[in-house]
Structure 1
Amino acid sequence: MKEKEMLHEVITVKTKSELSIYEQIEQQMIDQILDGTLAENEQLPSIRQLARNLKISVTTTARVYNDLSNEGFIISIVGKGYFVAPKNNDLLKERMLCEMEKGLEKAVISGRNAGLSDNKIITALKDYLKNIKKTERCCDT
């Protein structure tokens, strides 16, 4: 079985980006927390280790971790380090709900642009949810 990739191996920092390095790292970490790539309670590298691995300043990684902590995505445990926050965290739930709403908005706009009625869009969503449940049951074995 392949070992899990380290955080610094799944973060890409682009020097020619509209986003600052700090914003790139923060957004990628948020995306990975929301999509489950970074699992609940998973320990993150230390601020210094992540800075060293990404070849960026400690100040930048400290700012990322501080902001993610303030937003409820990660937690700091004194003497142990930083961890991905539990999913029952209210701030994280709120952010995930916001992300879901953005996705639904995009889906509705796409459906309407395709000429679908609201009822057909709702039916498509229900069908999608049924198919996801079937897939989850198949994979739970």
Structure 2
Amino acid sequence: MFELDVRSRKPIYEQLQDKIRDLIVFGALQVDEQLPSVRTLSSQLTVNPNTIQKAYRELERQGYIYSVQGKGSFVAPPEHHPQEASREKLRTELLRLMTEAVFLGWTKREIDDLYHDAVKRQERGMPHD
């Protein structure tokens, strides 16, 4: 499914969250598609099951996935994600980055072009990496 960087300073559960979120946002995982079980993903990635569970729990809290008792975790419909708190966190980060870009001399045109590139990537299912 994907690889994690064990040398990264970013915690494994956050890397896992980011990877799954990207797969959902870019359409590689479809609505109501089942995610691998905690046990399966844990053995595939050789990661502690508690780490996988923590990532799944956070993604569920953010509205990207939902769980069905005894069945597993599934991709949530778009109207369930992102929650308002996630949107506000993203807005704050975008504002910080755009302020820095303006400070470094980026023009409105360059920022608009970047936005349009992001829309095209999302439509084509291309991740940001």
The bucket for the TM-score relative to the shorter chain is 0.5 to 0.7
Unaligned runs of 5+ in 2: 124-129
Report whether the alignment pairs 1:85 with 2:47.
no
Report whether the alignment pairs 1:65 with 2:48.
no
Name which one, 1 or 2, has greater alpha-carbon Rg.
Answer: 1
Letter aligned with residue 82 of structure 2: L
Q: Specify which structure has the bigger relative contact order, considering alpha-carbon pairs within 8 angstroms and separated by 6 or more residues.
A: 2
Match of 1:25 in 2: 16
- SS of the residue corresponding to residue 88 of structure 1 reads helix
Q: How large is the RMSD of aligned CA atoms in angstroms?
A: 3.2
Q: Is the 8 A contact 1:75 1:83 kept in 2?
A: yes
CA distance in 1, matches of 2:77, 2:8: 31
Unaligned runs of 5+ in 1: 1-8, 137-141
Q: Is the 8 A contact 2:63 2:83 kept in 1?
A: no
Moved over 4 A (4+): 96-115
CA distance in 2, matches of 1:53, 1:16: 18
Match of 2:5 in 1: 14
What is the CA distance between 1:92 and its match in structure 2?
1.8
Tell me the TM-score normalized by structure 1: 0.63
